[in-house]
A and B are shown apart, each in its own frame.
Chain A
């Protein structure tokens, strides 16, 4: 445990020293992964599948504001869908616009969740999202996570129906529309997942705010169990064909990841080096404020294996021996 705490301190100091490079790197990686996943799943437009295009877009995202990742990903998705069929692109475009108009105007900070949720779905650990958002977010995060789930199932549905969408003749515009919209509206698995995630987020949020010891850990465990139960009950009622084994294993893995996240996030202020500029009547100030960091290395404890026998101890032992001898007689 001590080693872990030291590691945490080291990570913290590393983060605050190299924050300038780390944040663009993280943005680059998120953009790269999401673009590669989109290309792997949809990939109808060969021009966008080229690795150079992906790298350039990801590099661009690394120094633009974080929300640009989602804009670029949405555009790439729409272009792929446009190549497949214009109806798909229209439905997806309208869906993205609705999400933006109705929800993300309120909480632009949550937008990353919409992209991280499908990524975690593809990595088979979607349950990490509700657990983590319950820990670090608010109940309103349920809406962002729900949007992410809708986006994932839309892409999945279109990816699975490529042949249907390709084979329908040119006059089947309305049919294609119906196919795509039906896939979103009447997808029971999607609705059950949204409900399960919303309940999990709420529960984790409520439990972690309770003033009991280890509330964060209890929250993760309770959230995981609730998640599995809601998914399985949903499966029973709506016959969503969710694999029980995959759900349980995925939830355990997600809970483990959430524990790691909790360990590194809990009660830890990743305070950062700040460079600010201001002026008064006499001076311009260019100030670099560096937070004071104390890396607490473990104290070396000297444990005596052969402690010197004190006089008192010797006497006590001798009297003990004497009583034993008396008893023996």
Chain B
């Protein structure tokens, strides 16, 4: 007849509560390699920055729709395209840089927080081996 090992249960409870609460995101971040995690987040950032840029352009155009429609034949489309491209690159560039900083910091923090968790995991496996 197997008996419950009290020490083991306490350790597992602590870990399970960490996993459920603050560790939830950390564990999922920790399952990535650094480059993979940051790369994935940067792709998401570029997509949302692009969407945001489109929305801003829509807002600017509708704000000035009257004069825009009047001058539509006189507009220098190449010049506008160039300005838009530069603005787009600037918005996406700045936003991506910020998200790179944020997510690399977040990854380091998660790894640090997970160190204790992994140590517990190791201790748990030794407890099981002792049995």
Contacts and interface: CB of A to CB of B under 8 A. Distances in A.
Interface string B61-93: 011011000000000000000000000000000
Given A94-B58, A101-B51, A105-B44, A289 B13 contact: yes
A287 B55 contact: no
Interface stretch (A66-74, A206-214, A278-286): A278-286
Contact of A283 (B4, B16, B44): B4
Nearest to B12: A278
Interface in A253-298: 274, 276-278, 280, 282-283, 285, 287, 289
B63 A178 contact: yes
Contact of B16 (A101, A102, A181, A276): A276
Contact of B2 (A97, A173, A177, A282): A282
Interface in B84-126: 95, 99, 102
A91 interface: yes
Nearest to B103: A106
Given A94-B55, A283-B4, A106 B16 contact: no
Interface in A99-127: 101-102, 105-106
Contact of B49 (A102, A177, A287): A102
A101 B52 contact: yes
Contacts of B21: 274
Given A91-B59, A177-B63, A102 B12 contact: no
Interface residues of B, number: 28
**Is the contact region of chain B dominated by helix, strand, or loop, or is it mixed?**
helix
Contacts of B20: 274, 276
Interface in A172-223: 173-174, 177-178, 181
B63 A181 contact: yes
Contacts of B95: 102
A94 B17 CA distance: 39
Given A105-B48, A106-B102, A283-B4, A98 B56 contact: yes
Contacts of B43: none
A9 to B, nearest CB: 23
Nearest to B51: A101
21 contacts: A94-B58, A98-B52, A101-B49, A101-B51, A101-B55, A102-B49, A102-B95, A105-B44, A106-B102, A177-B62, A181-B63, A274-B21, A276-B13, A276-B17, A276-B20, A277-B16, A278-B12, A285-B12, A285-B13, A287-B9, A289-B13
Interface of B: 2, 4, 8-9, 12-13, 16-17, 20-21, 44-45, 48-49, 51-52, 55-56, 58-59, 62-63, 65-66, 95, 99, 102, 128
Given A105-B45, A174-B66, A274-B21, 4 more contacts: A98-B55, A174-B62, A274-B20, A289-B17
